[in-house]
C-alpha cells in the first residue's frame, strides 16, 4: 500500500512526487492534504491497479513526461465518486461505471468533482502494441468517456472488476487478454473502423508474447536477442525486424523493462542502489544512474527517498 498526505510545502512534493508517482501510475492523484491509496498486481506486460483518492491534482506538465519511457495506455474504470481527466486537448468527467483511456506519453490532469470528493477507480496499464489498432487512431479517443454500463463496455467493466477482485494464475492472464480484446472491439466501434488484418494482428500478438518472455527472464544474465529469438523459434533478424516495426529494438526493450524492475525494487525496499542495479543486469553504477535519471527524471537515490516518505505501515486500514 502507498499512502500520501503531502502538502504543497512538503519537501518531497512537487516535481519529485509527480515524477515518481507518474511512472508507476501516471494518472494516480496527488491530493493536497488528502490521501491516496494504491495497490497493484502484474500480469506479464499488464499491470492492474486500484486507486482510492480525494482532492485536486496539479497538471502533469510536458517536462514531467519522461522522454525515454515506454509508450503505454492506461484504461481507467471509475468505481465510485466523480472525477475528471484531461489529455490531448479533451476533457472527460466520469462517474461510477464509466471508462476512459489515457496515454503515458502526453500531459495529463485529473481532478475531483466536486472538489475533494473521495473517488475510486481501476487502472489497467499495458504497452500500446497490445492493441490491434494504430496508435494514431487510438489517440483520437484519449480522454473520451466510454460507456461502461451496457454492451461491450459492460463486459469490459465486468472483466476489470474480476481482475481487481483477485482472479489467480492462468485465469487472470486469460482474463487480461480478454479485457484487451474487449477494449479493442469497443474502441473500433467508437472509431467506426475495423481492427488490423489478421496478419498484422498476429505480428502484434507475437510481439506481445516475446515481450512477456523478456519480462519473465529479466534477471537472467544471458538474456539477449539471440536467446529470445531461440526461445520463439525465430531468426535474430526476424526478431529485430519485429521490434523495428514498432520503432524500438530488443535491446532497448530489455533495458527499459529492467529499469522498471529497478524502479519498483528501489521504491519497495531499503536495499543499496548498486545491489538492486546488479540484480537486474546493470553492473556499472554510474551508467545505471544516468540511464535511470534519463528515463524517470530522478536519480535512483532520489526515487528511493520519495517512496520512503510515501510508504505507510502494513496492517488493516481504511481511507478516511
**Counted domains in the chain:** 1
Average pLDDT over residues 76-93: 91
Answer whether residue 226 is part of any domain.
Answer: no
Confidence of residue 47 (pLDDT cuts 50, 70, 90): confident
CB 36 within 8 A of CB 52: yes
- Whether 265 is in a domain gets the answer no
The span from the CA of 128 to the CA of 313, in Å, is 35
Alpha carbon distance 70, 67 (integer Å): 9
Nearest Cα to Cα of residue 250 among 266, 232, 264? 232
Give the mean pLDDT of 162-168: 79
User: Is the separation of the CB atoms in 67 and 120 below 8 Å?
Assistant: no
CB neighbours of residue 48 within 10 Å: 23
Point out the least confidently predicted range of 20-34, 74-88, 280-294, 299-313. 20-34
Cell of 33: 492534504
Task: Give per-residue pLDDT as tens, 246-301.
Answer: 778 999 989 988 998 898 888 877 789 999 999 999 989 999 999 999 988 889 99
Question: Looking at residue 291, what is its pLDDT?
Answer: 93
Domain CATH for 3: 2.60.120.10
pLDDT of residue 74: 92
Say if 290 falls within a structural domain.
Answer: no
Closest by CA to 144, choosing from 195, 110, 98, is: 98
The answer as to whether 291 is a domain residue is no
Pick from 25-39, 143-157, 180-194, 259-273: least confident? 25-39
Q: Does some domain include residue 148?
A: yes
* Three cell numbers, residue 101: 483511456
Show the domain range for 113: 1-195
pLDDT (0 to 100) of residue 27 = 38
Among 118, 80, 114, 77, smallest CA distance to 98 is for 77
How long, in residues, is the chain?
A: 320
3-7, 127-131, 233-237, 240-244: which has the minimum mean pLDDT?
3-7
User: Is residue 266 included in any domain, yes or no?
Assistant: no
179 belongs to a structural domain: yes
End-to-end CA distance of the chain: 15
Are 109 and 145 contacting, i.e. CB atoms less than 8 angstroms apart?
Answer: no
Question: Is 235 within the bounds of a domain?
Answer: no
Mean pLDDT of 85-104: 92
C-alpha cell at 274: 548498486
Write down the pLDDT at residue 38: 64
Amino acid at each position: 500500500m502507498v499512502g500520501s498526505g503531502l502538502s504543497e510545502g512538503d519537501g518531497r512534493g512537487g516535481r519529485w512526487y509527480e515524477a515518481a508517482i507518474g511512472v508507476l501510475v501516471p494518472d494516480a492523484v496527488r491530493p493536497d492534504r488528502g490521501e491516496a491509496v494504491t495497490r497493484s498486481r502484474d500480469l506479464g506486460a499488464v499491470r492492474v491497479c486500484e486507486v482510492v483518492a480525494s482532492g485536486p491534482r496539479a497538471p502533469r506538465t510536458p517536462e514531467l513526461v519522461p522522454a525515454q519511457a515506454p509508450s503505454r495506455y492506461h484504461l481507467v474504470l471509475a468505481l465510485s465518486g466523480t472525477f475528471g481527466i484531461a489529455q490531448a486537448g479533451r476533457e472527460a468527467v466520469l462517474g461510477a461505471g464509466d471508462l476512459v483511456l489515457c496515454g503515458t506519453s502526453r500531459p495529463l490532469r485529473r481532478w475531483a468533482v466536486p472538489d475533494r470528493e473521495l473517488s475510486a477507480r481501476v487502472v489497467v496499464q499495458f504497452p500500446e502494441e497490445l492493441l490491434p489498432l494504430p496508435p494514431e487512431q487510438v489517440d483520437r479517443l484519449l480522454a473520451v468517456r466510454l460507456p461502461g454500463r451496457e454492451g461491450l463496455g459492460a463486459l469490459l467493466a465486468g472483466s476489470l472488476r474480476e481482475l481487481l477482485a483477485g482472479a489467480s494464475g492462468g485465469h487472470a492472464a486469460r482474463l487480461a487478454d480478454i479485457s484487451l480484446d474487449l477494449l479493442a472491439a469497443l474502441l473500433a466501434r467508437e472509431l467506426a473502423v475495423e481492427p488490423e488484418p489478421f496478419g498484422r494482428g498476429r505480428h502484434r500478438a507475437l510481439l506481445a508474447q516475446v515481450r512477456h518472455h523478456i519480462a519473465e527472464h529479466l534477471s537472467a544474465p544471458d538474456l539477449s536477442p539471440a536467446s529470445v529469438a531461440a526461445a520463439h523459434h525465430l531468426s535474430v533478424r526476424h526478431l529485430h525486424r519485429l521490434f523495428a516495426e514498432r520503432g524500438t529494438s530488443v535491446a532497448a526493450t530489455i533495458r527499459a523493462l529492467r529499469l522498471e524492475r529497478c524502479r519498483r525494487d528501489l521504491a519497495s525496499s531499503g536495499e543499496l542502489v548498486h545491489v538492486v542495479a546488479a540484480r537486474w543486469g546493470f553492473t556499472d553504477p554510474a551508467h545505471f544512474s544516468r540511464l535511470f535519471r534519463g528515463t524517470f527524471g530522478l536519480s535512483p537515490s532520489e526515487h528511493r527517498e520519495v517512496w520512503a516518505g510515501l510508504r505507510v505501515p502494513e496492517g488493516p486500514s481504511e481511507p478516511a
